């Protein structure tokens, strides 16, 4: 089972896509298996993070924004905007793909884990995920 | 084949779980295939690193501790302890899941590669890994 | 289908291996499925990055070289050369494995995505990738 999900992001931030991925797993009808999530972009990425207290994802985003600021004199790739090259670096430091076992027809996430699409561009975008379940 | 492993960590550090994962691969009886390892936590993570000289993993841990120190004024997520938010950041920078091909009924690791569970909390914890082999 | 690819790197840098991986997918004859790429080393890694403008990968490399410089007083693992411990850190911060869905017998990459083998050692090396398609 392979499905493409389209998600419109309003701007930078971490957006919880756990429910949408679990829906694909349910539709696949697989009891025990593997779910692979892949983001088809180099300026957005994936991360599994705490889903209980929103301050955790806010701090994570603030921390990475400080590590990879805009306007770095090192950048030569600037034609697509000030936030483009930081977006590529942030993508490389986080994940483009995630493999999550399926147990009893559900994603085998821990109690406090959520799957987040991390948008690194300020303007947001229409983002595409491929979800494979086997 | 899906199996859950429980590993008690005594505190921060990288703990070699290669033998336990290889045991699951052996039990699965798969000749050529894919092994996916997934950690069900957001304050512990996975990394494949050099298994020959222990100084490599010590330096790696020291390097990441310096990049992501405790007591950062940026953090607002502090209710679970000083080492909690750094643990989330370290998790995001390393891996929550790893996909490792199986060749001739063994993990297809290189000669110097070991699979490590990286505990980021000082107190340690009972950690759970899901291992899927197909 | 499991295949081992050998790639000779001339030195540090990002080397596009998308074509070679797509060839394995073609040979596997799988229509919809999953391709897993695994690098059997701890001083080289994998990353999916922009394939359009070479300045993006140059900036990414320069950024990571600045974050993880040689000659760091923190390092004790120095017997294998000044660029060895930075190589391990860079590996841990990027990826050792990637899972990429296969759609219509091709890697399900986005328009601007390429798969890169990232060599972190100055002297280069003969590097081995395992590619699994199912």
User: How far from the centroid of its chain's Cα atoms is residue A2's Cα?
Assistant: 18
Q: How many residue pairs from chains A and C have C-beta atoms closer than 8 A?
A: 91
- Structure-token pair, residue B126: 């009972």
Q: Which residues pair with C107 in a beta bridge?
A: C102
> Cα-flanking dihedrals φ and ψ of residue B65, to 5°?
-65, -35
What CATH number is associated with residue C7?
A: 2.60.120.460
Partners of residue B132 in chain A, C-beta under 8 Å? 32-34, 99, 101
Q: Are B48 and B116 in contact (CB under 8 A)?
A: yes
- Cross-chain residue pair B101–C77, CB shorter than 8 Å: no
Q: Is the ipTM of this complex over 0.90?
A: yes
Between CA C90 and CA B31 the distance in angstroms is 32
Total domain count, chain A: 1
The answer to whether C64 contacts chain A (CB < 8 Å) is yes
Distance of CA B15 to the CA centre of its chain: 7
Phi and psi for C109 in degrees, rounded to 5?
Answer: -80, 150
The token duo for C20 is 């070679």
Q: Which of A34, A93, A134 sits opposite B93 (nearest CB)?
A: A93
Q: Does A35 touch chain B (CB under 8 A)?
A: no
Residue B83 to chain A, least CA–CA distance (Å): 12
Asked if C99's CB is within 8 angstroms of B95's CB, the reply is no
d(CA C16, CA C29): 23
pLDDT at B17: 98
**Angstrom distance (rounded) from CA C68 to CA B64:** 11
Token pair 């199996």: residue:
B3
Residue of A nearest to C96 (CA): A95
A69 part of contact set with chain C, CB < 8 Å: no
pLDDT in tens, A3-25: 999 999 999 999 999 999 999 99
In this predicted structure, what is the pLDDT of residue C8?
A: 98
Give residue C60's domain range. Answer: 2-133
Regions of chain C short of the pLDDT cut 50:
none
Position B129 scores a pLDDT of 98
Query: What average pLDDT does the structure give for chain A?
Result: 97
Question: In this predicted model, what pLDDT tens digit does every residue of B53-112 receive, in sequence order?
Answer: 999 999 999 999 999 999 999 999 999 999 999 999 999 999 999 999 999 999 999 999
* Residues on chain C touching B48 (C-beta within 8 angstroms): 42, 91, 96-97
Q: Which tokens sit at A63?
A: 């921390």
> pLDDT tens digits, residue range A25-82?
999 999 999 999 999 999 999 999 999 999 999 999 999 999 999 999 999 999 999 9
Query: What pLDDT was estimated at residue C51?
Result: 94
Q: Please report which helix (H) or strand (E) contains residue C59, including its range.
A: helix C54-67
Beta bridge partners of B8: B126
Contacts of A92 in chain C (CB under 8 A): 47, 49, 60, 64, 93-94
pLDDT at residue B70, as a whole number = 97
Asked if residue A102 lies in contact with residue A33, where contact means CB atoms within 8 angstroms, the answer is yes
């Amino acid at each position: 089972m392979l499905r493409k999900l389209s998600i419109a992001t309003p701007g930078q931030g971490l957006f919880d896509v756990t429910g949408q991925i679990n829906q694909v797993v349910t539709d696949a009808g697989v009891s025990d298996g593997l779910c692979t999530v892949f983001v088809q972009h180099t300026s957005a990425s994936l991360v599994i993070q705490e889903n209980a207290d929103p301050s955790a994802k806010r701090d994570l985003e603030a921390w990475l924004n400080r590590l990879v600021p805009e306007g770095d004199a090192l950048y030569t790739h600037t034609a697509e905007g000030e936030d483009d090259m930081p977006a590529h670096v942030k993508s490389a430091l986080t994940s483009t793909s995630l493999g999550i076992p399926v147990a009893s027809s559900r994603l085998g996430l821990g109690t406090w884990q959520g799957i987040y699409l991390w948008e690194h561009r300020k303007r947001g975008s229409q983002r595409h995920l491929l979800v494979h379940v086997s």
